[in-house]
Each structure stands twice: as structure tokens, then as C-alpha cells.
Chain A
């Protein structure tokens, strides 16, 4: 991989820091009028998700990380691994529970997901921003209560539990924002 100097550090650039793949979040140039120049860099460790700040001398370099994001179709899980397929080559990748992480709650077969590959292997999975999932368990709906009012928990086909309005019934399909885990609307079938 190429080496990148602090001048090339832009948000989104993937680099190796202490042997771990990281994504640069921001890069602040620090230099007193008289004195040496530094770069204060915030990075996210792509394995742990941890955000870290480190200072470099301006002009220092880091090795690029072999990290790419690909849109892939989620196929199925065998309980141990989750399988994704590249749409053009039909190549399949297996992601472990660590790579799937929180995305687990939102994976629906056939849905397109963003899979981050590190040295060719899945490192992280990002579900689509919105997914449509069926409610498998919730208290019976209250007729007529369509506008405001309280909410109740509902269990989705993936096992995730979200808060839904009182009028929503078991067996209905709802749209959820996967970034916040919030109910959006009912999907008419």
C-alpha cells in the first residue's frame, strides 16, 4: 500500500496505525508563528470502532490500509457466519459475529449492505439506512388510536425490539431507521 503524508490526511482516508486499520475523521494543522508544525489527527479504529486522537509531526507518513467498502447482498446465516455476495462477481464472503456487530438486528435476506473488507476479509457490516421488517410479537393494536399517544415494544423478525405506535399490529411490516433504531412508518402490503 502507498504511504500517506500528514498533508494527504483527509476525512475517510484509511491508514494503518499501530498495526490496526483506521479511518481518518479529521486533521487539524497546528503551528505557532514561530515553532514547529504538527497535525492533530482524529481516527476511528475500524476493528474496535474506538475514536482516538494522535499528534504527528507535519510531514510524517502512515501506511495506507487495504480497506474497501463494497455493496453486497446479504444471503443467510448458518448461526456462526453471515454470508454476503458481491452482485457483479457472485463472490461470497463470510463475516463473523464481530464483523456483523450491531448490524445483526437489521439483516434481512436479499437486502443490500455495505461490507467493509480489510485485506479482502469482512471487517464491518453496515445495514441499509432503512429496512422493512415484519413484527412477530407485540401487544394487540388499539383501534382508532392512529395519531398521537403512547408507544409499545414490538419484536421484529430479526429479533430486534423497537418502539411502535399503539395502533400497529403483529404481522404488519414496518420501516425502521437502522441508524437510530426508530420506527418510521407502516408499510402497506
Chain B
């Protein structure tokens, strides 16, 4: 039997040390630690994220979803109290397993009223340095990054140009899809590996179609979502937003997610009406970010396989 842990005692110690350090970072800034439910009445509409469903139990009137992130509950806290909050939470994503993914993982998520995404990126850099030591910090807009690394404009290039840029660099077989699919492929297959030697790399202002829950505005004639991602040594570590606070716009995006779910033959997900009611009530202008703690621990300890930083990986759980 593979009853033994997948992580060494040394790595378990490193995890405990990292969690203590993260808590210290937020204590120093008077950010309140909170806990919110793991089993939620509503799932996530995002077509690229699948929640795990808990279906049986005397306490369940309806099936509940294991959270894919604590975002919605934390926004409801923000709408009510307007206070900076952080959470170290377990999150679950169905079907995500590999050297950098485990279906159950630890997220550090925090929200800062009064911050835009640039102010929050600066704080993320401080936290990562606090945990990982000095690293150079680079910052690129999504547009700048594609122009510099691929010599194309991700906002205006024709679909065929994006597809050709990808196919000339790697074998994408029979894959077919829209602009975002080719942009995702170029990002993960071509750009990400080139960020490996650059320390901390922030990428911000994504195409509006990839805004997710970020607010959108127009910059240089392009509609951009004020979302950012952090890559450290070429590994995606965090994703943040200058948060969308408009309830009507949020509802449109959820509905649009469900349209795409239908198109892809995925089950539709009922909308989180409690989140929408909280936005209706009023979310303070704020930015929020989710950071993968297991991956941060991989960076701290120089580990390349996520299984080695988990006490028990998915196969042994």
C-alpha cells in the first residue's frame, strides 16, 4: 500500500514555515484572515473550470459544489464590511492533474479596497519577495508581451495569423478554435517558457474576451480587461483583477459563460444570485488576487513536481 506521504518531512516543515510567513505578511498590514464555506450552493459558470459536486448527504437539500476558489464568498464579505481580507483556502478543480496541478490545492486569496490592479501587483511582488527572497520584477502589458516575443498584436491580428504563429512553432494537430484558444496556446507554449529566466513577470491588461471577473476599459483603441497574471521562473503563480463591481455586467458575463458551456456541450451552471445581490448592494472599488500556495512552495524549495510538496497527493488521498 502506498500509505506513506508524498512529501518529505523537510517539505512539510517548509510548508508550515511558508504558511506562517504569509500570515505574518498580512498581520503586518492589518488584513483580516477569514474562512468561508468549502461546500457552496452555487458553482462557477466559467467554461474552462469544472467544479466537483457533492451529491449525497442528509444535510443536502441540493447538490453542493466544492469551491473552485473562495472569490464569491469573499466578495460578499467585502460588499458588507468593506474591509481588506485574506484567506488560505482549499480549492478543487475537476480534471486538473499534472506536474503543476492537483485537483485539490491551496489558494491564497486576498482583496484590497482602494487598490487598482497596479497597486495590487506591487503588493503581490512584496509578498513573493517576502517568501522567496529578492528577484527581479518585470512587468508587461499583454499587448507589449506578444509584440515583443511574437511580433504580432494580440488585439488586432487576424485569427489566421494567430493560428499560423502557433502552428509554425509547434504541432497543434487537429485543434481548431477561436482567437482566445490560439492566444492561450501561444501564451502557454511559446511565451511562458521564455519567461523562465526573468524572475517575477507580471502580465496585465488582457483582451476583454479573457477579462473573466475584471473590469473592462478601452486603452489605445483596444478593449482590455484589467486582469493580471504573475509568472515566477516561467510558472504561473497568481491571477488578479481590478474587480468588476457592476452587477448587471456581471450577470451578462455569467449568462455568456453558460452560452459557451452549451456550445461546448458542458452542463450549464445556475448563477450565484447571492453574489449578484451583493454586487447590487455595492462592492467597494477593489482589487483581488488568487495565488497558488503549493506552487509558491515549489518555488521556495526548488521542487518541480507539485506532488512532492503535498502531504498526500491526489492518488494517495
Contacts and interface: CB of A to CB of B under 8 A. Distances in A.
Interface of A: 7, 28-38, 40, 52-58, 60
B97 A38 contact: no
Nearest to A58: B95
Nearest to A40: B189
A38 B171 contact: no
B236 A37 contact: no
A54 B210 contact: no
B181 interface: yes
A158 to B, nearest CB: 38
B267 to A, nearest CB: 14
Contacts of A36: 48, 177, 180-181, 184
Given A37-B95, A38-B175, 20 more contacts: A7-B95, A32-B236, A33-B236, A34-B212, A34-B227, A35-B180, A35-B210, A36-B177, A36-B180, A36-B184, A37-B96, A52-B171, A53-B171, A54-B172, A55-B170, A55-B172, A55-B175, A56-B173, A57-B177, A58-B95
B290 interface: yes
A28 B98 CA distance: 7
B171 A54 contact: yes
Contacts of B170: 53, 55
25 contacts: A7-B95, A29-B100, A29-B101, A30-B98, A30-B188, A30-B189, A31-B101, A32-B187, A34-B46, A34-B48, A34-B212, A34-B227, A36-B48, A36-B177, A36-B180, A38-B175, A38-B188, A54-B171, A54-B173, A55-B175, A55-B189, A56-B173, A56-B175, A58-B95, A60-B174
B48 A38 contact: no
A38 B185 CA distance: 8
Interface in B22-72: 46, 48
Contact of A33 (B98, B189, B290): B290
Contacts of B212: 34
Interface in B191-240: 210, 212, 227, 229, 236, 239
Interface residues of B, number: 30
Nearest to A18: B173
B1 interface: no
Contacts of B100: 29
B99 interface: yes
B184 A32 contact: yes
Interface string B144-183: 0000000000000000000000000011111101001100
A58 B50 CA distance: 13
A107 B86 CA distance: 67
B40 to A, nearest CB: 19
Nearest to B175: A57
B229 A33 contact: yes
A34 B188 contact: no
B175 A32 contact: no
Nearest to A33: B239
Nearest to B176: A57
Nearest to B46: A34
Contact of A29 (B97, B185, B189): B97
A159 B212 CA distance: 66
